[in-house]
């Protein structure tokens, strides 16, 4: 059934559509192109229509990261709108992050008015000529699944339904819709919106049975298989399916450069976070949702090693150059593929004596590895500046199954134990910095009853536009605990240089060019200025109590908090 046919603007019809399609939030970084949208929201509020909720975000980087964080936790795409081509430019790093992380986003942008006169939305400011490009969508086209420009109001329902269907179909990713002011301001005879979308997301694909059988034969015959996983946790059924498969084969699981919780980290077969030490001794590798299951420059498997790749797009066809071999590639929903793989292996002649021996060997080796991790924190607990291993250890102690950790580079995964799906998220493989602050706020918006902890380096913190992020936390009552690992440098750039030229000129300097961030900023005071709690922590023995104080603030006082941890 259709709604009543009263005269409304296309902008009003657009917001009606978003509400009808389940979009709860509209993250906006507005400009002159937003006038019809602003008017439509004001009218909706006067009418008591509360969805979608407009949230003002005073910079594009946290705006896109908020939408990313919300969709990452819930799987539900939200709307984020920026100001014409200049806002799109500011947002591009976040769009690349969402694309590589397979996160669904309805990314919107205004478009400078296309007419000079004759329409309500025609140009009336000096910026309206300079802000036009020949092809605004070209800026993002490589990193969105689909882009289009609204031309007529009559298109709006089809475009929204198509955009939402595409962004939610595998492999997921952002879509881009530009909205000229003339089109938004135009009248339309009633919204005429269907109650249900006329275009729906494609159902998940399943790997072909013959390919699954070939992969099953490889893994069943292997004497020493290993699984390497990065982002399986995107798929709700994935981690449990991997546990069943790993236990069936006594196959250890390594989370390489992992972006999600993929496998319980207290499981006897969780073999850590670096496959390099094992690559020369294994004879089969199951790479799961992993764009780079190993780093060939550092270590790679023997040529005889059999490789099975499992992912929604097992060949990562949107990556220009990627040379990881694959004897069998299983494209489709990886949770379904792993379940099918387990069933296929059950039909093979699996050598139970080999499996039992393998289980005993790996479980003993993994237990020794965990003892080494534990002792590493004790060895550095008194170092000053605070050692990042000790800082990570202290953070690990405050986590529970109701915690969500957003990690932009710095939390050492050997010092925390994640046992529950949806409790750990790391930055996108593309790593456009500045994601963490906004993503944590989006995660808190999606999970208000969870304890959200955001771990960032000082460089990533500055990239995240902290004044904007802390303002959002205050304005919308999002009590997140931000922990800044402050070593006064861009550590990734410095370590990359040292790896490239270990004994070069840069290694001999006290202040490495383009990496040094001294003098440091009092980051804790930025949070205080936004009504939050801020504390600088310089002594390692003070960190546990500082964490306790900060947790009390976010859980009892419902205010944001920031710890500025001075690290090595």
Tell me which residue range forms the domain holding 142: 7-189
The burial class, CB within 10 Å (0-12 / 13-18 / 19+), for 114 is middle
Total-model pTM: 0.95
With respect to residue 322, please indicate whether it lies within any of the assigned structural domains: yes
Question: Which of residues 306, 330, 363 is at a domain's end?
Answer: 363
Q: What are the C-alpha distances in Å from 204 to residues 39, 332, 340? A: 39, 7, 14
pLDDT at 190: 66
With respect to residue 202, please indicate whether it lies within any of the assigned structural domains: no
Q: What are the C-alpha distances in Å from 104 to residues 58, 168, 261, 393, 435? A: 22, 6, 19, 33, 15
pLDDT at 341: 98
Q: Residue 79: enclosing H or E segment and its boundaries?
A: strand 79-82
With respect to residue 373, please indicate whether it lies within any of the assigned structural domains: no
pLDDT at 409: 86
pLDDT tens profile 154-176: 999 999 999 999 999 999 999 99
d(CA 216, CA 176): 40
CA neighbor of 261 nearest in space, from 395, 392, 423: 423
pLDDT at 377: 96
Question: Which of residues 363, 392, 420 is at a domain's end?
Answer: 363
d(CA 450, CA 552): 14
Name the stretches of the chain with pLDDT < 50. 1-4
Whichever domain contains 488, its CATH number is: 3.40.50.970
**Average pLDDT value for the chain:** 96
Q: Residue 452: enclosing H or E segment and its boundaries?
A: strand 451-457
With respect to residue 245, please indicate whether it lies within any of the assigned structural domains: yes
**Together in a domain, 214 and 320:** yes
d(CA 212, CA 215): 5
Residue ranges in 380-454 assigned as alpha helix (H): 388-397, 435-446
Yes or no: say if 414 and 373 are a contact pair by the CB < 8 Å rule. yes
3-class DSSP state for residue 254?
A: strand
pLDDT at 180: 94
Long-range residue pairs from 272-276, CB within 8 A, at least 24 positions apart, any chain: 272/366, 272/369, 272/414, 273/413, 273/414, 275/226, 275/228
With respect to residue 101, please indicate whether it lies within any of the assigned structural domains: yes
With respect to residue 200, please indicate whether it lies within any of the assigned structural domains: no
**Together in a domain, 184 and 315:** no
**Together in a domain, 146 and 267:** no
- Using alpha carbons only, give the angle 340, 343, 347 rounded to the nearest 5 degrees: 135
Yes or no: say if 11 and 108 are a contact pair by the CB < 8 Å rule. no
pLDDT at 3: 42
d(CA 375, CA 414): 11
pLDDT at 191: 53
Contacts of 138 (CB under 8 A, 6+ apart): none
Residue ranges in 347-490 assigned as alpha helix (H): 352-379, 388-397, 435-446, 458-463, 466-475
Contacts of 436 (CB under 8 A, 6+ apart): 65, 406, 407, 408, 427, 454, 455, 456, 460, 461, 464
Specify the number of domains making up the chain: 3
**Together in a domain, 87 and 22:** yes
**Together in a domain, 24 and 154:** yes
pLDDT at 423: 98
Whichever domain contains 345, its CATH number is: 3.40.50.1220
Question: Which of residues 363, 389, 406 is at a domain's end?
Answer: 363
pLDDT at 189: 76
d(CA 8, CA 62): 32
**Together in a domain, 273 and 408:** no
With respect to residue 203, please indicate whether it lies within any of the assigned structural domains: no
3-class DSSP state for residue 112?
A: coil
The label of the residue with tokens 């840069």 reads: 506
pLDDT at 366: 97
**Together in a domain, 408 and 506:** yes
Taking residue 48's Cβ as centre, other Cβ atoms within 10 Å add up to 6
**Together in a domain, 337 and 412:** no
**Together in a domain, 33 and 106:** yes
**Together in a domain, 355 and 392:** no
Taking residue 314's Cβ as centre, other Cβ atoms within 10 Å add up to 22
**Together in a domain, 325 and 392:** no
The burial class, CB within 10 Å (0-12 / 13-18 / 19+), for 415 is buried
178-215 burial: b if 16+ Cβ within 10 Å, else e = bbbbbbbbbebeebebeeebeeeeeebbebeeebbbeb
**Together in a domain, 158 and 235:** no
Q: What are the C-alpha distances in Å from 148 to residues 179, 197, 246, 519, 567? A: 9, 18, 44, 46, 47
* Partners of 105 in beta bridges: 174
Residue 68 DSSP symbol: H
């Amino acid at each position: 059934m259709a709604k009543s046919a009263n005269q409304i603007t296309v902008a009003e019809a657009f917001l009606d559509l978003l509400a009808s399609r389940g979009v709860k939030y509209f993250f906006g970084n507005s400009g002159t192109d937003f006038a019809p949208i602003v008017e439509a929201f004001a009218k909706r509020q006067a009418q008591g229509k509360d969805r979608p909720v407009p949230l003002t975000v005073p910079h594009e980087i946290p705006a896109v990261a908020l939408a990313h964080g919300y969709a990452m936790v819930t799987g539900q795409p939200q709307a984020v709108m920026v100001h014409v081509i200049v806002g799109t430019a500011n947002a591009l790093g976040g769009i690349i992050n969402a694309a590589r992380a397979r996160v669904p986003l309805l990314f919107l942008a205004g478009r400078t008015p296309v007419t000079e006169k004759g329409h309500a939305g025609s140009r009336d400011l000096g910026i309206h000529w300079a802000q036009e490009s020949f092809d605004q969508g070209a800026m993002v086209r490589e990193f969105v699944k689909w882009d289009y420009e609204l031309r007529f109001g009559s298109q709006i329902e089809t475009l929204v339904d198509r955009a939402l269907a595409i962004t939610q179909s595998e492999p997921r990713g952002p879509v881009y819709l530009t909205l000229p002011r003339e089109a938004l301001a135009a009248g339309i005879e009633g919204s005429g919106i269907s109650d249900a979308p006329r275009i729906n997301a494609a159902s998940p694909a399943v790997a072909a049975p013959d390919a699954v059988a070939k992969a099953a034969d490889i893994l069943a015959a292997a004497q020493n298989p290993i699984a390497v996983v990065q982002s399986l946790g995107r798929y709700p059924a994935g981690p449990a399916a991997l546990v069943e498969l790993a236990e069936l084969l006594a196959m250890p699981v390594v989370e390489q450069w992992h972006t999600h919780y993929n496998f319980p980290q207290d499981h006897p077969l969780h073999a850590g976070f670096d496959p390099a030490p094992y690559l020369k001794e294994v004879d089969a590798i199951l790479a799961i949702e992993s764009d780079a299951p190993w780093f060939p420059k550092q270590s790679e498997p023997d040529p005889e090693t059999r490789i099975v790749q499992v992912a929604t797009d097992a060949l990562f066809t949107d990556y220009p150059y990627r040379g990881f071999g694959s004897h069998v590639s299983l494209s489709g929903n990886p949770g379904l593929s792993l379940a099918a793989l387990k069933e296929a292996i059950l039909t093979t002649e699996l050598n139970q004596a080999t499996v039992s021996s393998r289980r005993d060997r790996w479980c003993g080796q993994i237990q020794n590895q965990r003892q080494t991790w534990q002792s590493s924190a004790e060895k550095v607990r008194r170092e000053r500046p605070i050692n990042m291993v000790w800082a990570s250890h202290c953070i690990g102690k405050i986590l529970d199954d109701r915690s969500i950790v957003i990690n932009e580079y710095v939390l050492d995964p050997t010092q925390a134990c994640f046992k529950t799906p949806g409790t750990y998220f790391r930055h996108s493989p593309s790593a456009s910095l500045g994601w963490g602050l906004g993503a944590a706020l989006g995660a808190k918006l999606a999970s208000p009853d969870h304890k959200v902890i955001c771990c960032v380096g000082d460089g990533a913190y500055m990239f995240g536009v902290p004044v904007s992020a802390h303002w959002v936390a205050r304005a919308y009552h999002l009590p997140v605990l931000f922990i800044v690992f402050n070593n006064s440098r861009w550590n990734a750039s410095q370590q990359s240089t040292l790896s490239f030229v270990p004994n070069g000129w840069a290694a001999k300097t006290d202040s490495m060019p383009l990496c040094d961030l001294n003098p440091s900023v009092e980051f804790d005071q930025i949070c205080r200025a936004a009504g939050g709690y801020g504390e600088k922590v310089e002594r390692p023995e003070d960190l546990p109590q500082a964490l306790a104080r900060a947790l009390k603030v976010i859980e009892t006082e419902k205010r944001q908090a920031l710890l500025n941890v001075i690290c090595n």
